[in-house]
Amino acid sequence: MSEKKYSHVTVLLEETIENLNIKPDGIYVDGTLGGGGHSEEICKNLHADGVLIGIDRDTDALEAVGKRLEPYRCKKIFVHSNYADVKEVVEELYEEGKIPRNKIDGAVLDLGVSSFQLDNQERGFSYMQDAPLDMRMNQEDEFSAYELINEYSEKDIAYIISKYGEERWAKRIAKFIVEARKVKPLETTQELVDVIKAAVPKAVRREGPHPAKRTFQAIRIEVNNELGLLETALENFCDVLGRGGRLCVISFHSLEDRIAKEVISKRANPCTCPKDFPVCVCGKVADIKKISGKPVLPSKGEIEANHRSRSAKLRVCEKI
């Protein structure tokens, strides 16, 4: 791999680290290593006997962060995996004698795409740069934006753009995509941008953000099944935490935040008895408590310094 610049402005860094209550000899999992911003701060707080487990499904990220974290003395374990498989990852490390069982002291999930992925032209995440239609976070996956754009039905494309992109012109964009691909398959981000531009009325294009922004976000979410995996992933992270261990989840999309809120609430209040029952008979007991009722939001200063943080929300829970 050629040398690539790796800059990702980490969102809600201080707030996340504060909420993790890092023990210097603890074991911490970063499920979304990305540029390593959260991981680096965790490492700074760990002694030589502390452990950082960094997971990412992007091999480029793992390679770059490995270098960034070299100066820190704690034990670092990098795993190319999907964060939804955190249970298997932790179990395997236990089997290999690298960590004790039931001992995860904290975990971070900073959802979505990294600046590194966006800035890397050939990955095809950006509507600003021309590249083959791709957007796979895991370069070993077979399904990419190319298959989505050229093989999904018009109805499915419209649904995805509307739901994940909250794009009001979704139906028209889907119609234009299907018309265009009848002539020849859409192969590049620029071809897709041109189709989107043709579908969105000129007056609308002149006002808001780039006309392809919402559609690209939606395609990325679908290609990487970002929302489909989240619920299971959050359940699994809650499962692997040891008593007192904390999970910090940073989301950027209202649908992501809703899933995080629901999983945490369900585990913090699992009783399914009718409200008018005097005592609980379902026997379901909470194993998680909420640390913050409302999500933690970035400060005004952070939003001014980093536009990407404006939609970020941090939710924290603790294993009991």
Decide if residue 34 touches ligand SAM (CB under 6 A): yes
Listed ranges 16-24, 53-61, 80-88, 274-282: which one lies at the site for Zn ion (CB under 5 A): 274-282
Distance in angstroms (rounded) separating the CA atoms of residues 230 and 260: 8
Decide if residue 271 touches Zn ion (CB under 5 A): yes
Binding partner of residue 229 among Zn ion, ligand SAM, none, CB under 5 to 8 Å per kind? ligand SAM
**Element of type H or E holding 305:** helix 300-305
Residue with tokens 């194993």: 287
Name which position in 204, 280, 286, 305 contacts Zn ion (CB under 5 A): 280
What's the closest the beta carbon of residue 83 comes to ligand SAM, in angstroms? 4
Helix/strand/coil percentages in the chain, nearest 5: 45, 15, 40
> DSSP for 10-30?
-TTHHHHHHHHT--TT-EEEE
153 by Cβ neighbours in 10 Å (0-12 / 13-18 / 19+) ranks as: exposed
Site for ligand SAM in 44-63 (CB under 6 A): 55-58, 61
Distance in angstroms (rounded) separating the CA atoms of residues 11 and 5: 19
Decide if residue 211 touches ligand SAM (CB under 6 A): no
What's the closest the beta carbon of residue 216 comes to ligand SAM, in angstroms? 16
Listed ranges 107-115, 176-184, 188-196, 197-205: which one lies at the site for ligand SAM (CB under 6 A): 107-115
Distance in angstroms (rounded) separating the CA atoms of residues 12 and 192: 33
Name which position in 110, 222, 302, 318 contacts ligand SAM (CB under 6 A): 110
| Binding interface with ligand SAM (CB under 6 A) | 8, 10, 32, 34-38, 55-58, 61, 82-84, 110, 112, 114, 137, 229
